[in-house]
């Protein structure tokens, strides 16, 4: 029998306790709505729980559930320096609506200067390696700083967004970062997120109505045509399937999840 969720409060938890804790969270998630999932995650985890928002539709639903319940969850955005003005608009609208300041983590000035000296202003288009170098400086390293010291990381991932994300569950081990990853929208569709935003009058990015379903940095995001995969507008000039920036492409995480699943089924 799994230990109670509160067992993880003895953090850092031994692997077996942590894995049982995660299995329990995944068992109860299906019975809870978004509000309940976030409440449960907050109550279960000790220490800092960080939500990184890009102000996309899914993240806005999560922000609403956090802020309307006044949950003790750290809201952070990664301001890459290349975001759309519309993203800044919804950022400001969110702060105004809920009466909060959302913490921004920006790239290190020295890293950015070196990147620009190496590849120029838009050098990320020159090769996959150059693009990854840009994402590393503007996103991956700031994410590392944002999550430093956090016990848990909340994301807006949905399993049906892409083949890469198909195995996303409510809770999982992020072995590389040494924390628990919480994906409260793991079983949602995009329509679920649209309906939630409408029902709760959540501020949304104007670009969604113009065909930008997944929104990242301005030069690396385009609108998609009807019928195109949801993330087809991200880094579209690269090979099909390369629609992740490194924030969620984590082989160690996948390996840890596979190990956990194996343990659950043995």
| Residue 219 near ligand SF4 by CB under 6 A | yes
Active-site residue set: 245
Which C-beta is closer to ligand SF4: that of 160 or that of 244? 244
CB 190 within 8 A of CB 162: no
Q: Does 80 bind ligand SF4 (CB under 6 A)?
A: yes
Give the residue closest to ligand SF4 by C-beta: 217
Q: To the nearest whole angstrom, how small is the minimum distance from the Cβ of residue 16 to ligand SF4? A: 38
> What's the order of all strands across the beta sheet hosting 48-52?
103-105, 74-78, 48-52, 150-154, 179-182, 171-174
Closest contact distance (angstroms) between CB of 128 and ligand SF4 is: 10
By CB under 6 A, residue 165 contacts ligand SF4: no
Q: Is 56 in the site for ligand SF4 (CB under 6 A)?
A: no
CB of 126 to ligand SF4, least distance (A): 11
Q: How many CB atoms lie within 10 A of CB 82?
A: 19
Rounded to whole angstroms, how far apart are CA atoms 115 and 139?
13
Q: Between 119 and 151, whose beta carbon lies closer to ligand SF4? A: 119
Whose Cβ is closer to ligand SF4: residue 40's or residue 58's? Answer: 58
How far apart are alpha carbons 21 and 13 in whole angstroms? 10
Per CB under 6 A, 105 contacts ligand SF4:
no
Is 120 near ligand SF4 (CB under 6 A)? Answer: no
Contact string (CB under 6 A) for ligand SF4, positions 220-259, x = contact: x------------------------x--------------
Which stretch, 4-12, 67-75, 161-169, 212-220, contacts ligand SF4 (CB under 6 A)?
212-220
Please give the backbone phi and psi of residue 246, each rounded to the nearest 5 degrees, phi first: 110, -15
Give the shortest CB-56-to-ligand SF4 separation in angstroms. 13
Tell me if 146 contacts ligand SF4 by CB under 6 A: no
Residue with smaller CB distance to ligand SF4, 114 or 198 = 114
| 135 sits near ligand SF4 (criterion: CB under 6 A) | yes
Rounded to a whole number of angstroms, the minimum distance from the CB of residue 252 to ligand SF4 is 21
Residue 92 CA to residue 100 CA, distance in Å, equals 10
By CB under 6 A, name the binding residues for ligand SF4: 80, 82, 124, 131, 134-135, 138-139, 216-217, 219-220, 245
């Amino acid at each position: 029998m799994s230990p109670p969720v509160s067992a993880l409060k003895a953090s850092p938890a031994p692997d077996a306790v942590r894995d049982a804790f995660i299995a329990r969270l995944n068992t109860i998630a299906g019975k809870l709505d978004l509000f309940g999932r976030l409440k449960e995650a907050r109550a279960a985890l000790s220490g800092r729980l960080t939500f990184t928002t890009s102000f996309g539709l899914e993240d806005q639903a999560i922000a609403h559930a956090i802020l309307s319940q006044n949950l003790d969850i750290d809201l952070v955005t990664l301001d890459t320096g290349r975001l759309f003005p519309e993203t800044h608009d919804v950022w400001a609208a969110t702060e105004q609506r809920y009466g909060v300041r959302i913490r921004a983590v920006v790239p290190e000035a020295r890293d950015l200067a070196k990147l620009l000296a190496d590849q120029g202003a838009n050098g990320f288009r020159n090769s996959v390696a150059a693009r990854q170098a840009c994402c590393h400086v503007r996103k991956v390293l700031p994410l590392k700083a944002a999550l430093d010291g956090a016990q848990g990381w909340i994301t807006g991932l949905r399993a049906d967004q892409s083949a890469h994300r198909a195995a996303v569950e409510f809770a999982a081990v992020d072995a590389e970062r040494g924390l628990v990853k919480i994906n409260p929208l793991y079983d949602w569709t995009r329509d679920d997120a649209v309906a939630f935003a409408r029902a709760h009058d959540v501020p949304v990015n104007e670009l969604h109505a113009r065909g930008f379903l997944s929104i990242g940095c301005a030069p690396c995001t385009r609108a998609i045509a009807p019928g195109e995969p949801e993330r087809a507008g991200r880094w579209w000039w690269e090979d099909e399937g390369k629609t992740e920036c490194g924030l969620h492409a984590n082989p160690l995480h996948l390996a840890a999840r596979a190990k956990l699943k194996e343990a659950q089924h043995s």
